[in-house]
Amino acid sequence: MKKAVKSQRPVNLDLRTIKLPVTAYTSILHRISGVILFIGLAIMLYALGKSLGSEEGFGEVKACLTSPLAKFVTWGLLSALLYHLVAGVRHLIMDMGIGETLEGGKLGSKIVIVISVVLIVLVGVWVW
């Protein structure tokens, strides 16, 4: 039996070996940070509701937030927020027509990563 059409699809589908451009990484991280923020919002609203419910609830939330795990979660949520904010500002700037070229997109992605890393380190120092 003969094939009617010769397939030109790539054979290598191992995602670990595919080299993505920096713009793809910033886009993927922007989406991931949005999902983390969505999930984290539920956690923080629960803690807010519990802390506002009673004096005992406030004490429990306050005691919980002093644990290393809670500090790590707080740092993670703030990191996601900062990255999402910086990447979102980049999208707004691109919507104004700045950095829409391939070179501009790559430069904008690198700037987003550098600014985000600096802000994430600073918020880590603040939380810990």
pLDDT above 70: residue 93: yes
Contacts of 9 (CB under 8 A, 6+ apart): none
Domains within the chain, CATH numbers bracketed: 20-125 (1.20.1300.10)
Tens digits of residue pLDDT in 16-33: 777 889 999 999 999 999
Write down the pLDDT at residue 4. 60
Exposure b/e, 10-22, CB count within 10 A at least 16 = b: eeeeeeeeeeeee
> What predicted TM-score, i.e. pTM, was given to this entire model?
0.82
Weakest mean pLDDT among 3-17, 22-36, 70-84: 3-17
Angle at 27 between CA 33 and CA 8, to 5 degrees: 135
The reply to whether 91 sits in an annotated binding site is no
